Amino acid sequence: MTMVSMHTAVAEQVVDAIRSVVGPGPVTLHEPSFAGNEWEYVKECLDSTFVSSVGKFVNRFEVELADFTGANHAIAVVNGTAALHVALKLAGVKAHEEVLVPALTFVATANAVTYCGAMPHFVDSEARTLGVDATQLRDYLARQTEQRSGHCVNRSTGRVIRALVPMHTFGHPVDLEGLLAVARDFNLVLVEDAAESLGSYYHSQHTGTFGLMGTLSFNGNKTITTGGGGALLTNDGELARHAKHLTTTAKLPHAWEYRHDEIGYNYRMPNLNAALGCAQLEELPLILAGKRELFQRYSAAFASVEGVTLMAEPKQCQSNYWLQALMLDAEQANQRDRILEQANAAGFMTRPVWVLMHELPPFSECPRMELTCAQLLSQSLINIPSNVRGVI
Amino acid sequence: MTMVSMHTAVAEQVVDAIRSVVGPGPVTLHEPSFAGNEWEYVKECLDSTFVSSVGKFVNRFEVELADFTGANHAIAVVNGTAALHVALKLAGVKAHEEVLVPALTFVATANAVTYCGAMPHFVDSEARTLGVDATQLRDYLARQTEQRSGHCVNRSTGRVIRALVPMHTFGHPVDLEGLLAVARDFNLVLVEDAAESLGSYYHSQHTGTFGLMGTLSFNGNKTITTGGGGALLTNDGELARHAKHLTTTAKLPHAWEYRHDEIGYNYRMPNLNAALGCAQLEELPLILAGKRELFQRYSAAFASVEGVTLMAEPKQCQSNYWLQALMLDAEQANQRDRILEQANAAGFMTRPVWVLMHELPPFSECPRMELTCAQLLSQSLINIPSNVRGVI
């Protein structure tokens, strides 16, 4: 067999495996599943005329979200980016500081850091979890930083590194035990970007509830959606009160007076979107079961495709399997674009992982550690159709 | 008649006049009117599953909004604050600069300036429009600023004053002719905060279309609502393209690649909210007619209440009469809180205007001119129930 025909074979095998699971295309990468009370709750919301920043659904959504995740408090906001912005502010991130974020993430993680006037500092990931590599990070911080008055300071830039923001890629939990220890040992605040991991558990505890705060997203492409939406999770009552205050323009309670005691944000989730969210939360267990079933079906289909591994949840973790991902072996990595082209041409929407943050123009000058693994992952990951419709 | 009984009489007369127009309470200050295709469009949106950042309703809402306002372009975003933030960025507002905003405004106007790292600089208003006083501002800038290399520089702080953001209070258009001349003569970019003035016209041209950009709000308390929402208006095609880019995470178009070429924002209005907006836009002419009719009825009812004037649209302007407002004569201003207490106790929701910006802790150190008129207005304005339900 020539090289060309072997390469063709791999791409074709991937397309065939996808087709064997999801049927003939076209199939999207991910779309919402509205099979429950969505219409009923949204109509009830419209009928009440309370569609905006006040209403029973937004309060109920927060209570039910706290209940589902086991967090003491949940604060519903307009989207995951807004949640991260406020979480970082509450973590004490100030202008001219640095925040450790993975190079392998969606751009919102890095953007939120800049909204605080701070600078992202990019760290490497590990193939096992697709998230921040705790061991490499520990070694790097030991070399690169020093403690001054209880603050972690970057020796090269002289800036305080305030926080560490791991992200649970595609719903797979990061090494929280390792990262919590790094955060403790280097005086960093840990904030979890759990935008992709609603329904994912690390050692039986829900992701987003380990750090000082965690953030969720309910964008249209997520496991459940509110149209646009996000939330902050925290176990700290005072932080929760402050998060609610900051996300509702920092207005002090009063029957008629408009007095605000700090610079706040118009980040409250509208009641209309929360109505959709309440219905979606009811379906979440079924959706999660469907995503797990889809993983099993893909597992069987890809078992015989050489050079391609389906991403499985890390040990002692339960992933929500938000986006199913293939990892190409090193010798197949140069076939990534061919696979993407053939799969998309065949009507199966697939995509590579995000361009690494330090390769984007706005972040090219930000500090970073060696990103060996992230670079390898960025060349070898492919997301494949992950809808639960037809599965559940 | 003793002073006490005279005072009581004024408050009682106000309550009686409100009751004579809106009927027995309880009556809210403002609530949405959903009498058209709201449910139909929202259901169609849910059925399509396109509830998030992509969909036909958000594109249609933009086209229809541009059509209604006469702006060449409209860009739909999550709320009015986000619209202002992006408009100021596109106006070139940078860190450590100043932006002229009225002291008499909702806090979002000042907050948006700080999101750019800049500082609000508070200016006075006039009783005729409730907006920025162009004559006083011109005199102040002549004394307080100097031109350096084509920039307006605050002599006291040494900082560049980049922009001027008038706000059309309660829907009443500001003196745009006067303010455009001030902006031109002092090299300031004019951005209109038209959050309250959808359906308001200055010399037959829609507010928000005079400056470099204008911003709208569709919060639940506005003339029409999308739950949460806002928009940017501009006649400049390149600015419109850039605004759309910035509000959609600055992602470059590509079939599968996630590459962003600048720091962007997750500010896109969700399709679900836009579906509601499309239905509301259809009803806007009827709502505006109802608000004008309500003004006429209040006019008649308050004609005989001495010491109280109902706010009317400025000459050569057409106000949307979003919030009906009473202005107390100087000798009645000390009765404001008594009126508020009696009206609210009687079930008629009324409120004073916002606490002036420079009196809020986060803005107490910001530069400001003499705020004589704004201070007077803040003591003498009362908003009264402004719903169109029962009128149209």
CATH of the domain at B73: 3.40.640.10
Does residue B360 sit within a domain? no
Give the angle B293-B298-B304 at the CA atoms, nearest 5°.
140
Chain B residues whose beta carbon lies within 8 Å of the beta carbon of residue A351: 256-258
Helix (H) or strand (E) holding B45: helix B38-48
A34 touches chain B (CB under 8 A): yes
Does residue B1 sit within a domain? no
Residues A234, A214: one domain? yes
pLDDT at A4 > cutoff 60: no
Does residue A376 sit within a domain? no
Residues A106, A253: one domain? yes
Contact A32 B49 (CB under 8 A): yes
Do residues B119 and B367 lie in contact, with contact meaning Cβ atoms separated by under 8 Å?
yes
When CB atoms are compared, the residue of B53, B107, B263 closest to A228 is B53
Alpha-carbon gap: B12 to the closest alpha carbon of chain A (Å): 19
Residue A227 C-alpha from the chain's centroid? 16
pLDDT at A64 > cutoff 60: yes
Contact A258 B354 (CB under 8 A): yes
B261: left (phi over 0), alpha (psi -120 to 50) or beta: alpha
Return the pLDDT at A390.
78
Residues A261, A296: one domain? no
Residues A130, A238: one domain? yes
Residues A173, A309: one domain? no
Cβ-Cβ pairs closer than 8 A, A with B, add up to: 181
Q: How many other C-beta atoms lie within 10 A of the C-beta of residue B129?
A: 25
A379 touches chain B (CB under 8 A): no
B39 touches chain A (CB under 8 A): yes
Three-state DSSP class for residue A281: helix
Chain A residues whose beta carbon lies within 8 Å of the beta carbon of residue B353: 258
B203 touches chain A (CB under 8 A): no
Return the pLDDT at A255.
84
Return the pLDDT at A1.
43
Chain A residues whose beta carbon lies within 8 Å of the beta carbon of residue B256: 340, 344, 350-352
pLDDT at A319 > cutoff 50: yes
Burial track A264-298 (b if 16+ CB lie within 10 A, e otherwise): bbbbbbbbbbbbbbbbbbbbbeebbebbbebbeeb
> Which position has the higher pLDDT, A198 or A3?
A198
Does residue A270 sit within a domain? yes
Between positions 328 and 347 of B, the ones with CB within 8 A of A are 340, 344
Last residue of a domain, one of A281, A309, A343: A281
Number of domains comprising chain A:
2
Task: Return all residues near B64 (Cβ < 8 A) that are at least 6 apart.
Answer: B278, B281
Three-state DSSP class for residue A345: helix
Return the pLDDT at B1.
43
Q: Which residues of chain B have pLDDT under 70?
A: 1-8
Query: Mean per-residue pLDDT for A16-20?
Result: 97
Distance CA B100, CA B368 (A): 9
Q: How many other C-beta atoms lie within 10 A of the C-beta of residue B36?
A: 17
Return the pLDDT at A92.
98
Report which DSSP code applies to B364.
T
Query: Mean per-residue pLDDT for A331-343?
Result: 94
Residues A178, A293: one domain? no
Amino acid at A302: F
β pairing state of B160-164 and B98-102: parallel
Distance CA B143, CA A220 (A): 53
Largest CA distance in chain B: 79
Chain A residues whose beta carbon lies within 8 Å of the beta carbon of residue B261: 360-362
A263 touches chain B (CB under 8 A): yes
- Inter-CA distances, B42 with A40, B228, B273, B325, Å: 12, 14, 8, 33
First-last CA distance in chain A: 41
Residue in chain A nearest B255 by alpha carbon:
A351
- Inter-CA distances, A324 with A104, A320, A345, Å: 16, 10, 19
Beta bridge pairs of residue A213: A191
- Of A89, A170, A263, A355, which to mutate for an interface test with B (greatest number of B Cβ within 10 Å)? A263
Report which DSSP code applies to A150.
T
Query: Mean per-residue pLDDT for A3-12?
Result: 69
Does residue B128 sit within a domain? yes
Residues A266, A299: one domain? no
Residues A275, A289: one domain? no
Handedness of CA B306, B311, B316, B319 (dihedral sign): negative
When CB atoms are compared, the residue of B81, B257, B272 closest to A227 is B272
When CB atoms are compared, the residue of B49, B263, B362 closest to A34 is B49
- Phi and psi at residue A171, to the nearest 5°: 100, -5
pLDDT digits (tens, 9 = 90+) for A66-81: 999 999 999 999 999 9
pLDDT digits (tens, 9 = 90+) for B163-208: 999 999 999 999 999 999 999 999 999 999 999 999 999 999 999 9
Residues A162, A204: one domain? yes
- Strands across the sheet containing B317-318: B205-206, B201-202, B317-318
pLDDT digits (tens, 9 = 90+) for A265-292: 999 999 999 999 999 999 999 999 999 9
A50 touches chain B (CB under 8 A): yes
Alpha-carbon gap: A69 to the closest alpha carbon of chain B (Å): 23
B265 touches chain A (CB under 8 A): yes
Residues A12, A158: one domain? no
Residues A69, A169: one domain? yes
Residue in chain B nearest A259 by alpha carbon:
B355
Does residue A101 sit within a domain? yes
Helix (H) or strand (E) holding A268: none
Residues A260, A307: one domain? no
Between positions 136 and 165 of B, the ones with CB within 8 A of A are none
Contact B258 A38 (CB under 8 A): no
Tell whether pTM > 0.80: yes
Beta bridge pairs of residue A119: A98
Does residue B307 sit within a domain? no
Return the pLDDT at A54.
87
Does residue A242 sit within a domain? yes
Return the pLDDT at B5.
54
Report which DSSP code applies to B195.
T
Chain A residues whose beta carbon lies within 8 Å of the beta carbon of residue B258: 106-107, 351, 353-355
Q: Which domain range does residue B226 map to?
A: 38-281
Query: Mean per-residue pLDDT for A95-121?
Result: 98
Q: ipTM surpassing 0.85, yes or no?
A: yes
